[in-house]
Amino acid sequence: MRTFFAVLSLILIAVPASAKRNTYRARAARTPDFLQTDRDAGFANAGSQYCAPTAVSNSLMALAASGYDELRPAGIVGSKRAQIAMIRSLSTSMKTSAANGTDAAQLLRGVEAYVTEAGYSIAELSYEGWRPVPSDYEAGEYPDLDDIRNAIADDQSAVWLNVGWYTWDEDDEAYVRNGGHWVTVVGYDGDALLIHDPSPAAGSGVRTQKISLEELTEGTLAGKQTNLPRPAVGYYELGGEMAVAAGKTCILDGAVFLRLE
Residue 18: predicted pLDDT: 35
* Residues 183/50, Cβ–Cβ less than 8 Å: no
Grade residue 6 by pLDDT with cuts at 50, 70 and 90: low
The Cα 153–Cα 25 span in angstroms is: 9
Instruction: List pLDDT tens digits, range 20-66.
Output: 569 999 999 999 999 999 999 999 999 999 999 999 999 999 999 99
| Predicted confidence (pLDDT) at residue 4 exceeds the cutoff of 90 | no
The Cα 137–Cα 166 span in angstroms is: 25
The Cα 101–Cα 97 span in angstroms is: 5
Is pLDDT larger for residue 179 or for residue 19?
Answer: 179
Q: What is the CATH number of domain 4-13+21-260?
A: 3.90.70
- The backbone torsions φ and ψ at residue 202, rounded to the nearest 5 degrees and listed phi first, read -85, -5
Q: How many CA atoms lie within 13 A of 81 on its CB side?
A: 5
16: cis peptide before it, omega within 30°?
Answer: no
Instruction: List pLDDT tens digits, range 122-164.
Output: 999 999 999 999 999 999 999 999 999 999 999 999 999 999 9
> How far is CA 67 from each of CA 71, 221, 251, rounded to the nearest angstrom?
9, 41, 34
Among 126-140, 200-214, 220-234, name the one with the lowest average pLDDT.
Answer: 200-214
Q: How many CA atoms lie within 13 A of 150 on its CB side?
A: 18
Residue 80: predicted pLDDT: 97
Among 72-86, 203-217, 238-252, name the one with the lowest average pLDDT.
Answer: 203-217
Residue 14: predicted pLDDT: 43
Nearest to 162 by CA among 6, 241, 51, 78: 51
Among 18-27, 93-102, 212-221, name the one with the lowest average pLDDT.
Answer: 18-27
Nearest to 50 by CA among 39, 64, 61: 39
Cβ contacts of residue 99 below 8 Å, gap of 6+? Answer: 45, 49
Report yes or no on whether pTM surpasses 0.95: no
The Cα 131–Cα 117 span in angstroms is: 26
DSSP labels, 58-75: HHHHHHHTTT-GGGSPTT
Residue 3: predicted pLDDT: 60
The Cα 138–Cα 127 span in angstroms is: 5
| Predicted confidence (pLDDT) at residue 10 exceeds the cutoff of 80 | no
Taking the alpha carbons at both ends of the chain, their separation in whole angstroms is 18
The Cα 36–Cα 13 span in angstroms is: 38
* Adjacent-strand bridge partners of 81: none
Residue 24: predicted pLDDT: 96
Instruction: List pLDDT tens digits, range 152-205.
Output: 999 999 999 999 999 999 999 999 999 999 999 999 999 999 999 999 999 867
Grade residue 11 by pLDDT with cuts at 50, 70 and 90: very low
